[in-house]
Structure 1
């Protein structure tokens, strides 16, 4: 398992089925960065509690709303038009790069938030359900795909 969250996230996301699972969860309102962070915390055996979930959400929600979502929205708005316009396609690719950097920055912030939390807890850690919120109820299969992928990262 990768020790830093970014490397872990890249390794997990590259595994079969993970991208689709993440997109299903995202369409149901979950943050992919929070899901990947939750997997990382589960793999590290960090105890999940309400206060910690709240801390991670407080880091994620404003950054996602103010930085990641506007970039993603613009990128998606340009998708069809960019197919026929090479200049716009290049700009769209730059937006995609910025979106990825914004997600990397968020993962770094999440890792910093969780940095002092002790590892190897004896208690069960159910981060994915806690961080997915209502999206967890609709996407049990997606959560299962993520957990399987994380064990091989």
Structure 2
């Protein structure tokens, strides 16, 4: 078990199937940082509550909207042009590094909040992912969500 969320996120994301599942969920509006935090909380057997889900979302939403998403938009907008322009490719890599650093900052903020919650006492901790997945969970790719849970469970 990983003590810190950043190490857990890096290790989990590198596992086969995780990146594809996360990108599918992200395309549907899910926040991958929140999902990885949820998977970490499930692994740590932290009791899920509506208040805790809202507290995590309260931290994540503005950071995602105001910091991470603008960096991601620039990076993706430059993808095609950067293949033809070496200078732009270098700038795009720097934006990509900033985006990753912004995600690391968000994970640190989420971890700081979650560290106050007791671990190992949840009877049914397997609802973090569903609770954190998206506002409109009915339209979410539940196969991708289950794939993420399997990746984490088999770690």
TM-score between both structures, scaled by the size of structure 2 = 0.95
Tell me the residue number matched to 1:38. 38
Instruction: Give yes or no for contact 1:25–1:135 (8 Å, CA) kept in 2.
Output: no
Write out the 4+ residue segments of structure 1 that deviate beyond 4 Å after TM superposition. Answer: none
- In 1: Cα distance, 2:130 partner to 2:100 partner: 24
Encode CA deviations 1:98-145: one digit per residue, 9 max, x unaligned.
Answer: 000000000000000101101112421110000013246531111111
Tell me the residue number matched to 2:105. 105
Instruction: Give yes or no for contact 1:28–1:135 (8 Å, CA) kept in 2.
Output: no
Tell me the residue number matched to 1:115. 115
Aligned length: 153
Tell me the residue number matched to 1:72. 72
TM-score between both structures, scaled by the size of structure 1 = 0.96
- In 2: Cα distance, 1:122 partner to 1:51 partner: 15
Tell me the residue number matched to 1:131. 132
1:149 aligns with 2:138: no
Where 2:83 maps in the other structure, the secondary structure is helix
Alignment RMSD (CA, Å): 1.1
